[in-house]
Amino acid sequence: MATVLLSGCGKQSILSFKSPQTHQITLLWWWMLAAASIVFLGAVVMLTVAWFRRGTRGLPFLGERETLTEGLVVLFGMGIPVVALVALFGVANLYVIKNSEAPDPRTTALTVVVTGRQWWWEVSYPGTRAVTANEIHIPVRTRVDVIALTADVIHSFWVPQLARKIDMVPGRRNRILLYASRPGIYRGQCAEFCGLQHANMALEVVAEPASAFRSWLSRMAAPAASTASASTGKSLFMSLQCASCHQIRGTAAQATVGPDLTHLMSRRTLAGNTIPNTPADLAAWIHNPQAIKPGALMPDLGLSSTQVSELVSYLETLR
Amino acid sequence: MSSSGEHPPRPSGRAGVIPRSSEATTAGAVALVARRRVAQPNGWWGMALFVASEATLFGTLIATYFYLDFNAPRWPPAGIKAPSVVLPLIATAVLVSTTVPMFLSVRAARAGYAGLAARFVGAALLVQCIYLAGQILLFRHDLNDFRPDQSAYASIYFTTLAAHHAHVLLGILLNGWVAARIGIGGLTTYRLTAVRCVALYWYVVNALAVLVVLTQLSPSL
Amino acid sequence: MATLITPSAERHVELLEQVWAERQGVLGWLTTTDHKRIGILYFFTSLAFFAAGGVEALLIRTQLVGPNGHVLSPAAFDEMFTMHGITMIFLFVIPMTTGAFGNYLIPLMIGARDMAFPRMNAVSYWIFLGSGIFMYIGLVTGHAPNSGWFDYVPLASKQFDPGNNIDFYGYGLIFNGISSTAAAINFIVTIFKLRAPGMSLNRMPLFCYAFLAVSFSLVFALPALSMACVFLELDRQLGFHFYDVSNGGDPLLWQNLFWIFGHPEVYIIILPAFGIATSIIPTFVRRKMVAFPLVALAEIMVAFLGFGVWVHHMFAVGLATITTIYFAAASLIIVIPSAIQLFAWIATILTGTPIFKTPLLFIIGFILFFMIGGLSGVTVAAIPFDQQVEDSYYIVAHFHFVIFGAAVFPILGGMYYWFPKVTGRMYHEGVGKVSFYLTFTGTLVTFFPMHILGILGMPRRVYTYPAHMGWTFLNLLESIGSYVLASGLILIVVNLAVSLFRGPLAGNDPFEGDTLEWSTTSPPPPYNYPLIPTVSSPYAMWDKEDRELDNRRLARGEGLLARGHETPASTVQDAEWDEILHMPPHSAWPPVVGLTLTGMFLMLLLHHYEIAAGFLVAGGLALLAWHNKEYAG
What is the DSSP code (8-state) at residue A124? E
For C235, name the nearest residue in chain B, comparing CA atoms only.
Answer: B149
CA of C247 vs chain A CAs: smallest distance (Å)? 11
Structure confidence by residue, pLDDT tens digits, B12-57: 444 567 888 888 888 888 888 888 889 999 999 999 999 999 999 9
Q: Give the pLDDT band of residue A11 (cuts 50, 70, 90).
A: confident
If asked whether residues A130 and A202 sit together in one domain, one would say yes
**Same structural domain, A114 and A206:** yes
Q: Which region holds residue C318: left if phi is over 0, alpha if psi is between -120 and 50, else beta?
A: left
| Chain C residues whose beta carbon lies within 8 Å of the beta carbon of residue A191 | 316, 390-392, 459
* CB < 8 Å to C568, chain B: 18
Cβ-Cβ contacts under 8 Å, B46 against chain C: 116-117, 120, 185-186, 189
Mean of pLDDT values over C234-239? 97
Contact flag B61-C580 (C-beta cutoff 8 Å): no
The verdict on C616 touching B (C-beta cutoff 8 Å) is no
Indicate the range of C74-83, C138-147, C542-551 predicted with least confidence.
C542-551
Please tell me which of the candidates B23, B49, B60 has its beta carbon nearest to residue C257. B60
Q: Which helix (H) or strand (E) holds C266?
A: helix C251-285
pLDDT higher than threshold 80 for residue B131: yes
Please return the burial class of B3, using the count of CB atoms within 10 Å of its CB with bins 0-12, 13-18 and 19+. Answer: exposed
Which residue from B minimizes the CA distance to C248? B152
pLDDT digits (tens, 9 = 90+) for C200-217: 999 999 999 999 999 999
Report, as an integer, the average pLDDT of A235-258.
94
Write out pLDDT tens, residues C41-61. 999 999 999 999 999 999 999
pTM as predicted: 0.96
Cβ of A165 within 8 Å of Cβ of C391? The answer is yes
Is there a single domain that holds both residue A118 and residue A200? yes
Pick the range with the lowest mean pLDDT from A140-149, C12-21, C422-431. Answer: C12-21
Q: Is A309 helix (H, G, I), strand (E, B) or coil?
A: helix
Q: Is residue A2 part of a domain?
A: no
Which whole number is the average pLDDT over C270-281? 97
Mean pLDDT of chain C: 95
Within a domain: residue A4?
no
What radius of gyration do chain C's Cα atoms show?
24
Name the neighbours of B, counting chains with at least 3 Cβ pairs within 8 A.
C
Q: Is there a single domain that holds both residue A188 and residue A253?
A: no
- Do A249 and A286 lie in one domain? The reply is yes
CB pairs under 8 A, 24+ apart, for B31-37? B31/B110, B31/B111, B31/B112, B32/B1, B33/B189, B33/B192, B33/C579, B34/B110, B34/B189, B34/B192, B36/C579, B37/C578, B37/C579
Per-residue pLDDT, averaged over C584-607, amounts to: 96
Return the pLDDT at B5.
57
What confidence score (pLDDT) does residue B13 get? 42
Q: Are residues C578 and B46, on separate chains, in Cβ contact within 8 Å? A: no
Mean pLDDT of B191-210: 97
CA distance C221 to C226: 9
Task: Give pLDDT tens digits for A298-307.
Answer: 999 999 999 9
Q: What per-residue confidence (pLDDT) applies to B2?
A: 38
- The interface predicted TM-score (ipTM) is 0.95
Answer yes or no: do A212 and A245 share one domain: no
More confident residue, B163 or C8: B163
Domain for residue A38, yes or no? yes
Give B130 to chain C, closest Cα distance, Å.
Answer: 22
**pLDDT reported for residue B92:** 97
pLDDT tops 50 at residue A7:
no
Asked if the structure places residue A3 within a domain, the reply is: no
On the question of pLDDT at A89 being above 50, the answer is yes
Alpha-carbon span B213 to B166, nearest angstrom:
15
Rounded to an integer, the average pLDDT of A182-190 is 97
Task: Please indicate if any CB of chain C lies within 8 Å of the CB of B60.
Answer: yes
Q: Are strands A184-189 and A202-208 parallel, antiparallel or unpaired?
A: antiparallel
- Tell me whether residues B49 and C189 touch, CB distance under 8 A: yes
What is the H or E stretch that residue A135 is in? strand A135-139
Contact C371 A39 (CB under 8 A): yes
Question: Residue C280 region, left (φ>0) first, then alpha (ψ -120 to 50), else beta?
Answer: alpha
Mean pLDDT to the nearest integer, C610-624? 97
**A226 found inside a domain:** no
**How does residue B166 score in pLDDT terms, banded at 50, 70 and 90?**
very high
Interface of B with C in 74-133 (CB under 8 A): 77
The distance of Cα B25 from the centroid of its chain, to the nearest Å, equals 26
Residue of B53, B150, B175, B201 to mutate for C, most C C-beta atoms under 10 A:
B53
Residues of chain C in contact with residue B19, where contact means CB-CB under 8 angstroms, are 579-580
pLDDT of B1 = 36
Give the residue numbers spanning the domain of A81.
11-100
Confidence of residue A229 (pLDDT cuts 50, 70, 90): confident
Domain definitions of chain B by residue range: 23-220
CA–CA distance, C217 with C228 (Å, rounded to integer): 17
Asked whether residue A131 falls in the same domain as residue A216, the answer is yes
Specify if A246 maps to a domain. Answer: yes
Q: Can you give the CATH number for the domain in which A135 is found?
A: 2.60.40.420
Which DSSP state fits A41? H
Q: How far apart are CA C211 and CA C94, in angstroms?
A: 12
Whether the per-residue pLDDT at C465 is higher than 70: the answer is yes
Same-domain pairing of A82 and A159: no
Do A92 and A111 fall into the same domain?
no
Average of per-residue pLDDT across C339-364 = 97
**Within a domain: A6:** no
Contact status, residue B91 vs residue B133, Cβ threshold 8 Å: no
- Tell me: do A114 and A209 sit in the same domain: yes
CATH superfamily of this structure's domain B23-220: Cytochrome c oxidase, subunit III, four-helix bundle (1.20.120.80)
Subunit partners of chain A (3 or more CB pairs within 8 A): C
C-beta of residue B182 within 8 angstroms of C-beta of residue B195: yes
Q: Which of A82, A100, A118 is at the close of a domain? A: A100
User: Residues C29-38: what's their mean pLDDT?
Assistant: 97
Least confident of A75-84, B34-43, B199-208: B34-43
Residues A70 and A136 in one domain: no
pLDDT for the residue C105? 98
pLDDT bin (cut points 50, 70, 90) of residue A5 is very low
Cis omega before residue C154 (within 30°)? yes
Q: Mutation test of the interface with chain A: which of C302, C395, C456, choosing the one with the most A Cβ atoms within 10 A?
A: C456
- Mean pLDDT confidence for C14-22: 90
Q: Do C152 and A192 touch (CB under 8 A)?
A: yes
Q: Do C325 and A194 touch (CB under 8 A)?
A: no
- Nearest CB partner across the interface for A78, out of C339, C355, C376: C339
Q: Is A130 helix (H, G, I), strand (E, B) or coil?
A: coil
Is A119 part of a structural domain of the chain? yes
Phi, psi of C392 (to 5 degrees): -110, 180
Inter-chain Cβ pairs, chain A and chain C, closer than 8 A:
265
Task: Examine the domain organization and report whether A59 and A29 are in the same domain.
Answer: yes
| C-proximal residues of B, 173-212, CB under 8 Å | 173, 177, 188-194
Percent of chain C with pLDDT over 70: 99
Whole-number pLDDT of residue C572: 95
B44 touches chain C (CB under 8 A): no
Count of the separate structural domains present in chain A: 3
